[in-house]
Amino acid sequence: MCPANTLHPSAFTLNAAQALAVLGLVALTACSSSPPRPDTSAPRKPGGYYLDDGPGANPPANLDQISDPEPKLEPIKASTSRPYTVFGRTYTPMTRLGPYQARGAASWYGRRYHGQATASGEPYDMYAMTAAHPTLPIPSYARVTNLRTGKTIVVRVNDRGPFHGDRLIDLSYTAAYKLGVVGSGSDLVEVESIVPGETPPPSVAAHAPGTTEAASAQRPVEAAVAQEPTGVYVQLGAFSLRQNAESFLAHMRVEMNWLAGAIGLYARDGLYRVHAGPYADRTQADEVATRIERSMDLKPILITR
């Protein structure tokens, strides 16, 4: 978010014309990106809309026929790649396309924000297949699967949010409609990043009848073992068995939502290591490690590659 511009009242005195000139200059030099939009992901009653944030008066009649976007390589916006803080929580966005897989609740936002600027600078279109995510690169593409029904869609991530502890992704109205989330207001989903040109992983299936959504969310997701680029990493754990590493990775992504997009699984020296990063220097990595140590019962270590 933009820092407040503070001027000491005794620094100088302006006449009316000078004051107008200064106001114009401030307007021209304002931050280029909009501050994160207010959180709209508070729990909704089934069939109701939070703060009357429902569909438009005349939604298109062919929402089911709106195509998913075709993933393509796009330059990641540097202005959306820096760590930021909302409501006292710090988020560390991914700075490059890479593996990401997590489960959590999907919510959606509609007419209250239709036409307003997203974090990417583009106007929000509630009838496009887009989404907001706290840490995925902007822009990027993700596969979202409804774990209750097995329905799967592809969205283009162009906004930041949601900023509520139990929410993982905010869908546009059309994306939520196609995924079957509009009526309930939220649903349990799996979000997987898409790297254009790579073979997509198999889609997850809806959980078997009689299996609770909570149990499905706790089931470890097989994580991709990524190649580790150079940089400074915060190591959260190292395991000899991949299954244990995957289980720990899934747990960390749930417990530390603010860091979920930066955590990955790397195989090295006969061990499966769960790392956060990479970070530009040890100072930045140490800040992350300190926050992890304060919030979790573990002692991270710094690794330089």
* Rounded Cα–Cα distance for residues 5 and 69 (Å): 40
Q: How confident is the model at residue 208 (pLDDT cuts 50, 70, 90)?
A: very low
The kind and range of the H/E element at 267 are: strand 263-268
The residue among 87 and 133 whose pLDDT is bigger is 133
Mean pLDDT (whole number) for 272-297? 85
Instruction: Please tell me the predicted confidence (pLDDT) of residue 53.
Output: 61
Task: Give the pairing type, strands 187-194 and 101-109.
Answer: antiparallel
Instruction: Please tell me the predicted confidence (pLDDT) of residue 198.
Output: 65
The kind and range of the H/E element at 136 are: none
Q: How confident is the model at residue 199 (pLDDT cuts 50, 70, 90)?
A: low
Structural domains of the chain ordered from first start: 36-216 (2.40.40.10), 220-305 (3.30.70.1070)
Q: How confident is the model at residue 54 (pLDDT cuts 50, 70, 90)?
A: low
